[in-house]
Structure 1
Amino acid sequence: MTLDSTLFPVDHELDGLLARLADEADRRQMIEVAYRTVDSPLGPLLLAATARGLVRVAFVTEDFDAVLTVLADRLGPRVLAAPARLDRAASELDEYFCGTRHEFDLELDHSLSSGFRQTVQRYLPSIGHGRTETYKQVAEHVGNPAAVRAVGTACATNPIPVVVPCHRVLRTDGSLGGYRGGLEAKRWLLDLERR
């Protein structure tokens, strides 16, 4: 049996209602984490933000539902699709992927990391577009030259990849090392920045 869409025009009305509810919840500061998905050359990305700023960028391989569950557990249970809050982040990512943006101008929320990991992640944007550093160089720049492995862990657990450019950190021998989005994604980002 097929339903006549003229009798049940709920899909677009429901979408509009949900968008209005999300906007109102956001306006009243009732959302702890707003999220949306965006298309990218690397596949769909999940963007999430708190009132302080962008807190998470996740690759589809990370399982968006699992990522949202972690965000609810760590940051608060009021997690809602509220795309408007992430319009600027989506726009800047689009410009980056088109090759017209070389650095991001977004407020970031680093609350998913702490200690040395956060120190490393805050340093990473200083590695300029089209440049790379080794894990050892990053360890030296953040004042702990013996912490090469810890730098690798900080890069591997970076909750805001692409925007916080852990892809610009390589092994001493020039090989890629690891990457949360996979080595093909890391290679693609490095190639984009070399153009």
Structure 2
Amino acid sequence: MWADRINRAARRVPVWALWLTGLAPAVWFFYLGMTGGLGAEPIKALEQELGKVALQLLVAGLAVTPLRRYLGLNVLRFRRAIGLLAFTYVCLHLAVWLFLDVQDAARIRADIVKRPFVTVGFTALMLMIPLAATSNDLSLRRLGPRWRRLHRLVYPVAVLGAVHFIWLSKGFQFEPLIYLAVILGLLALRLSPGKVLARSVR
């Protein structure tokens, strides 16, 4: 079966390879920014590209359970790395905004309070911090069942990330709406109490 072949191939891929692949876009975008490859507003473009990759990684993390449940694809061993990569890109997105774009502490505080898209994005970051801090085996053992409840914060984080993208976009654009629709669809699949269609993967 095709799912078994994919699962066997995935088991041979080391997690560090996912980290290298996942960080490659950041290196590439920074290179483009320094060499004029991001257009007339490289800082804004760099912010947007890093934020978009963060959102894509959040989508990928949410897709892990539905892929296993409905298609029999087991990539669970990569979920922690995907989540930490998403947090890394959110931090890079924030760092570019703080240190390259705004560069004004007073304006940063004002934007967080007064500009809805900044408020939403900052809230998503705050919710991600405890997830990143507890993405280790020691926290899993110490928190027990509470660990799973805590990590459900990824659901509002993903929705807030999509809303941040929608508000950040100028005019009516389909792309951020598509992200929101995909996230809501994945959440519906994850939370659905219906019959599990896929067989368990050994």
> Structure 1 length normalisation: TM-score?
0.29
Of Structure 1 and Structure 2, the greater helix share is in: 2
> Structure 2 length normalisation: TM-score?
0.28
Of Structure 1 and Structure 2, the greater strand share is in: 1
